[in-house]
């Protein structure tokens, strides 16, 4: 976005020089990224008067001119056919660097010395006419800098605006900010359209088929215009801010675009079929050639302005060449509409076409400002192109919008900003930005102007107060010298400890998306209301599925063994406000875990006990309570190779060897193991710092048992019963053999295990140990019908 210093001064008074103004705008949130002194382009160019013109003695097409440049008279060789005595002309003196980079030097041209150059529009970068020199007005004073005479002694500011500030995409919008900063009132242009023509309903009509995409469409008709070049001052001002001058009608709409910020479009009314405008969606297969000469393929995603026969413009983006205002145009229909930002964005992106208009509509235009912009453009067209304005204007506005009202508590604003501004001062600031403010019970009620779609909440008004007051004026506060250490939440501590332990156990952490394919999720998975595509349209219900995808990706790239884990949330339908329940979990997957032989260690293949050991080591390091793994068959693990994990008798997760069906879906071989633990369930048992346990002072006593039990009895059930025999003296129980076969009967197996006894207070006697062993045998016999193997 570009604006000029002098143009801003037409809307508001200020005493800031260009440098200070750039600083003030930047501190107000309108970052000035570059400035350009237009006058510097023409340093060395002055107004000259041609005193004499003689034919060049050695060239038929050259003239030798004696020119008064104020301080002296110089001889200039000129090749322009329109140079004449008495003319006021732009002269580039020796040493001048022209906008195109040409440096003027003292030269001898066909034997005649030339001290300068009389310039054309092209050479000065002021236009495209290279047929002759630029002839200045007779009132131009000889010797004055050319920039001063042509109104080019100006400074251009290039602003980089954030997307939420469409109101500053205009000279008046930036001037409003300056007025708020300086306290000076904004000068709003007086707009009056003299209506001398027939009623507008005799000239045109408008129909909106999609009022959601186009909530408002206004139009005026001007007849009998004379299309031609715009005045020099308008052309130069447009070119200074980066717009190309086209003709007086189009330039008037572009001038208002930069002046007031609202995009407009002019149609040749006589090229609009039935003189009827229809705002509709494009039809599939429809085509239209835009003003840039490109034939565009349209579809229903694109909103178009059409007549009963054809599309004549892409709404909010660019007009069509079939209704272009050209030299022969006499009657003009002037469009000023409000289009939905999303619709314009989709159309612009679909066509790969971004314009000054689309960039504004995409950010959100002023739905109440289109009439003012339209009338301003009509005023300029009548002034520079002539014609008559039809009586009245079309304004199709099916569903009128109401301005939002946002409350501001001055006390709260001061608390946030660290200021001590009064409510009256804040009200004054907001009114300078266009808000209508009333005070009610020490609270400010601000009616938000329609050109500020970004202001929705109280904090937005606080930001406006801060900007106008000046971020650099907000007083600094010394930070107190108290303790800045903040206790971390227990759940974050648990996640951190989990990460540390599992990494230490040789697993690598991965992070997968919380979105997944509905084919991989359960039927009750939470589905997104507006997904970007089917493959990622539901929230995950487990972590293992995502880990299997990661494992497959790594194995396909010859990663070898894969040992990975993830900490993340899973989701399920719930009864809360969001309709969703979240649970923090940790899960792991171990694939093809086979270690090669080493001189110090034989090959080891991962099995159920290996993954169980990892889970046990992890949980025992964070929760000093009884850990059990009991057999379970839940549809995820192979029968006999799955276990539910219990902490102090409460189920917190599961682990085991994954089902063959699950493994084959991911193209794995044998030996894929996994685990998943609910951190939410583990949290009540979590201890970040474990107390120090001194080394045992008294010896342990080990006793081996071989119990014959039913085949259906799991080791976990047996272990639980053994531990409950005497929790004070039994230190550990470890199974070391499972036997099936003769002489055991059918449906029986032998479990051999070692029980370690130890007391923290004394050395156990042989009698005490023997009594404990007998109690274990009796308890197992009574509970399970177990017998000692002979």
What is the predicted pLDDT for the residue at 241?
A: 92
Predicted pLDDT at 107: 93
Residue 484 has pLDDT above 80, yes or no: no
Q: At 520, list the tokens.
A: 């991989």
Which residues does residue 438 pair with via DSSP β-bridges, in sequence order? 445
pLDDT score of 698 more than 80 = yes
Cα 709 → chain centroid? 65
**What pLDDT, in 10s, does the model give residues 41-62?**
889 999 999 999 999 999 989 9
User: What pLDDT is attached to residue 15?
Assistant: 93
Q: How many CB atoms lie within 10 A of CB 32?
A: 18
Alpha carbon of 396 to those of 15, 390, 453, 574: distances in Å?
43, 17, 21, 46
Q: How far apart are CA 481 and CA 331, in angstroms?
A: 74
User: Does the structure show a pLDDT above 80 at 182?
Assistant: yes
- β pairing state of 394-396 and 216-223: antiparallel
Is the CATH code 3.40.30.10 the one for domain 490-685? no
Can you tell me the distance from the alpha carbon of 548 to that of 554, in angstroms, rounded to the nearest whole number? 10
Model confidence band, residue 34 (pLDDT cutoffs 50, 70, 90): very high
Residue 632 clears pLDDT 90, i.e. is over it: no
pLDDT at 625 over 90: no
List C-alpha distances in Å: 336 to 213, 230, 397: 14, 21, 12
d(CA 369, CA 338): 9
H-only helix segments in 322-471 = 341-351, 356-363, 370-385, 410-417, 423-432, 458-469
> Which tokens hold the place of 140?
């131009």
Architecture of domain 195-396: 3-Layer(bba) Sandwich (3.50)
**How many CB atoms sit inside 10 A of residue 773's CB?**
17
Q: How confident is the model at residue 692 (pLDDT cuts 50, 70, 90)?
A: low
Of 355, 387, 635, give the one whose Cα is nearest residue 522.
635
Q: Sketch the domain layout of the chain as residue ranges.
A: 2-39+154-182, 43-149, 195-396, 405-471, 490-685, 701-788
Note the pTM of the prediction, 2 decimals.
0.63
Q: What is the CATH number of domain 405-471?
A: 3.30.56.10
Strands (E), 716-773: 730-739, 748-757
593 pLDDT more than 60:
no
Nearest to 708 by CA among 667, 679, 740: 740
Residue 334, CB-side half-sphere exposure with 13 Å CA sphere: 35
| Mean of all residue pLDDT scores within the chain | 90
Residue-wise pLDDT for 703-727, tens only, equals 999 999 998 888 778 888 888 887 6
Q: Which CATH superfamily is domain 43-149 in?
A: Nucleic acid-binding proteins (2.40.50.140)
pLDDT over 70 at 534, yes or no:
no
- Sign of the alpha-carbon torsion through 709, 714, 717, 718: positive
3 state SS of 711: coil
Q: Which CATH class is domain 701-788?
A: alpha beta
Mean pLDDT confidence for 142-167: 91
Q: How confident is the model at residue 475 (pLDDT cuts 50, 70, 90)?
A: confident
Which letter, b or e, does each residue of 640-669 get, where b requires 16 or more Cβ atoms within 10 Å of its Cβ? ebbbbbbbeeeebbbbbbbbeebbeebebe
Could you tell me if 130 and 36 are in contact, meaning their C-beta atoms sit under 8 angstroms apart?
Answer: no
| Percent residues over pLDDT 70 in the chain | 95
Least confident of 273-287, 544-558, 630-644: 630-644
Per-residue pLDDT, averaged over 204-231, amounts to 96
Alpha-carbon distance 338 to 219, whole Å? Answer: 12
Q: How confident is the model at residue 168 (pLDDT cuts 50, 70, 90)?
A: very high
User: What is the average pLDDT across 399-404?
Assistant: 91
620, exposed or middle or buried, with CB in 10 Å at 0-12, 13-18, 19+? middle
Q: What's the CA gap between 181 and 390, in Å, rounded?
A: 41
For the record, the structure tokens of 556 come out as: 């396909």
Nearest Cα to Cα of residue 66 among 43, 83, 45:
83
Residue among 206, 207, 176, 202 nearest 189 (CA): 176
Mean pLDDT of 364-382: 95
Name, in order, each residue with C-beta under 8 angstroms of 67's C-beta and a sequence gap of 6 or more: 48, 49, 50, 51, 73, 74, 75, 76, 89, 91, 116, 118
- Our CA angle for 411, 417, 420, nearest 5°, is 55
The pLDDT of 52-74, averaged and rounded, is 93
**Alpha carbon separation from 27 to 40, 169, 251, 279, 758 (Å, rounded):** 26, 17, 33, 42, 75
Instruction: Using the predicted structure, report yes or no on whether residue 430 has a pLDDT greater than 60.
Output: yes
pLDDT score recorded for residue 81: 92
Cis ω for the linkage preceding 743 (within 30 of 0): yes
- Per-residue confidence (pLDDT) for residue 598, from 0 to 100: 57
CA atoms within 13 A on the CB side of 142: 14
Q: Cα–Cα distance between 103 and 80 in angstroms, integer?
A: 19
Contact by Cβ (8 Å): 405, 457: no
pLDDT at 575 over 70: no
CATH of the domain spanning 2-39+154-182: 3.30.56.10
pLDDT at residue 7, as a whole number: 95
Strand ordering across the sheet containing 672-678: 508-509, 562-573, 580-591, 672-678, 650-658, 637-647, 627-631
**Which residues, in sequence order, are CB contacts of 774 under 8 Å at separation 6+?**
none
The values of phi and psi at residue 404, to 5°, are -75, 150
| Section 555-579 average pLDDT | 82
The strand pair at 295-297 and 287-289 is best described as antiparallel
- Whether 177 shows a pLDDT value over 70: the answer reads yes
Note the pLDDT of residue 472. Answer: 87
pLDDT of residue 556: 82
- Fold equal for 195-396 and 490-685: no
Q: Do the beta carbons of residue 146 and residue 45 sit within 8 Å?
A: yes
Q: Residues of the chain with pLDDT > 90: what percent? A: 66
Helices (H), 400-527: 410-417, 423-432, 458-469, 490-504
Residues with Cβ within 8 Å of residue 207, at least 6 apart in sequence: 276, 277, 278, 279, 396
- Give the β-pairing of 276-281 and 205-208: parallel
């Amino acid at each position: 976005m570009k604006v000029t210093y002098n143009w801003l001064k037409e809307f508001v008074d200020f005493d800031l020089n260009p440098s200070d103004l750039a600083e003030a705008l930047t501190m107000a949130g309108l970052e000035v990224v570059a400035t350009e002194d237009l006058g510097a382009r023409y340093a060395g160019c002055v107004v000259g008067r041609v005193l004499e013109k003689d034919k060049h003695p050695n060239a038929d097409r050259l003239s030798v001119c004696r020119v008064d440049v104020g301080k002296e008279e110089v001889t200039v060789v000129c090749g322009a056919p329109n140079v004449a005595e008495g003319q006021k002309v732009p002269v580039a003196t020796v040493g001048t660097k022209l906008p195109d980079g040409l440096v003027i030097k003292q030269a001898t041209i066909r034997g005649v010395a030339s001290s300068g150059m009389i310039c054309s529009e092209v050479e000065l970068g002021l236009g495209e006419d290279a047929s002759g020199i630029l002839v200045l007005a007779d009132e131009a004073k000889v010797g004055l800098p050319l920039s001063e005479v042509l109104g080019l002694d100006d400074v251009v500011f290039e602003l980089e605006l954030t997307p939420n500030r469409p109101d500053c995409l205009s000279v008046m919008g930036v001037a409003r900010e300056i007025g708020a900063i300086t306290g000076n009132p904004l000068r709003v242009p007086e707009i009056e359209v003299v209506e001398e023509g027939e009623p507008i309903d005799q000239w045109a009509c408008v129909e909106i088929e999609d009022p959601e995409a186009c909530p408002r469409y206004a139009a005026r008709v001007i007849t009998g215009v004379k299309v031609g070049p715009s005045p020099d001052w308008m052309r130069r001002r447009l070119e200074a801010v980066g717009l190309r001058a086209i003709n007086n009608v189009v330039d008037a709409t572009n001038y208002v675009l930069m002046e007031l910020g609202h995009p407009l479009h002019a149609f040749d009314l006589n090229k609009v079929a039935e003189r009827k405008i229809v705002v509709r969606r494009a039809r599939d297969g429809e085509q239209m050639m835009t003003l840039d000469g490109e034939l565009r393929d349209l579809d229903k995603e694109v909103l178009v302005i059409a007549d009963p026969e054809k599309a004549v413009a892409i709404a909010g983006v660019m007009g069509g060449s079939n209704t272009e205002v050209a030299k022969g145009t006499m009657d003009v229909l002037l469009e000023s509409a409000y289009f939905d930002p999303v619709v314009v964005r989709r159309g612009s992106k679909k066509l790969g076409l971004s314009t000054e208009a689309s960039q504004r509509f995409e950010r959100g235009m002023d739905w109440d400002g289109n009439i003012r912009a339209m009338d301003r453009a009509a005023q300029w067209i009548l002034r520079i192109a002539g014609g008559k304005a039809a009586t009245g204007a079309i304004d199709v506005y099916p569903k009128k919008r109401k301005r939002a009202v946002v409350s501001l508590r001055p006390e709260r604003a001061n608390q946030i900003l660290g200021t001590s501004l009064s409510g009256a001062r804040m009200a004054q600031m907001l009114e300078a930005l266009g808000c209508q403010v009333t005070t009610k019970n020490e609270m400010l009620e601000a009616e938000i102007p329609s050109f500020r779609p970004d202001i929705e909440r109280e904090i937005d008004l606080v930001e406006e107060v801060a900007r106008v007051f000046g971020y650099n004026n907000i007083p600094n506060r010394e930070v107190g010298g108290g303790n800045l250490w903040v206790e971390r939440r227990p759940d974050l501590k648990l996640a951190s400890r989990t990460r540390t332990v599992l990494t230490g156990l040789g697993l690598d952490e991965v992070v997968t998306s919380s979105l997944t394919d509905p084919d991989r999720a359960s039927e009750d998975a939470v589905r997104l209301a507006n997904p970007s595509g089917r493959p990622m349209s539901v929230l995950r219900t487990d972590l293992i599925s995502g880990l299997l995808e990661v494992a497959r990706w790594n194995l396909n790239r010859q990663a070898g063994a894969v040992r990975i884990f993830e900490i993340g949330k899973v989701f399920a339908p719930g009864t809360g406000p969001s309709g969703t329940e979240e649970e923090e979990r940790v899960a792991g997957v171990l694939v093809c875990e086979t270690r090669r032989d080493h001189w110090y260690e034989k090959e080891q293949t991962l099995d159920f006990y290996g993954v169980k050991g990892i889970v046990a080591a992890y949980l025992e390091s964070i929760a000093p309570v009884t850990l059990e793994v009991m057999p379970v068959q839940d549809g995820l693990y192979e029968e006999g190779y799955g276990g539910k994990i219990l902490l102090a008798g409460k189920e917190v997760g599961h682990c085991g060897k994954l089902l063959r069906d699950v493994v084959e879906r991911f193209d794995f071989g044998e030996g894929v193991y996994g685990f998943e633990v609910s951190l939410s369930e583990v949290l009540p048992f979590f201890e970040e710092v474990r107390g120090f346990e001194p080394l045992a002072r008294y010896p342990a006593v080990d006793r081996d048992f071989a119990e014959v039990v039913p085949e259906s009895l799991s080791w976990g059930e047996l272990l639980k019963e053994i531990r409950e025999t005497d929790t004070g003296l039994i230190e550990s129980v470890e199974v070391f053999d499972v036997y099936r076969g003769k002489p055991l009967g059918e449906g029986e197996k032998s479990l051999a295990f070692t029980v370690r006894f130890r007391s923290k207070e004394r050395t156990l006697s042989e009698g005490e140990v023997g009594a404990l062993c007998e109690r274990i045998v009796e308890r197992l016999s009574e509970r399970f019908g177990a017998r000692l193997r002979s």
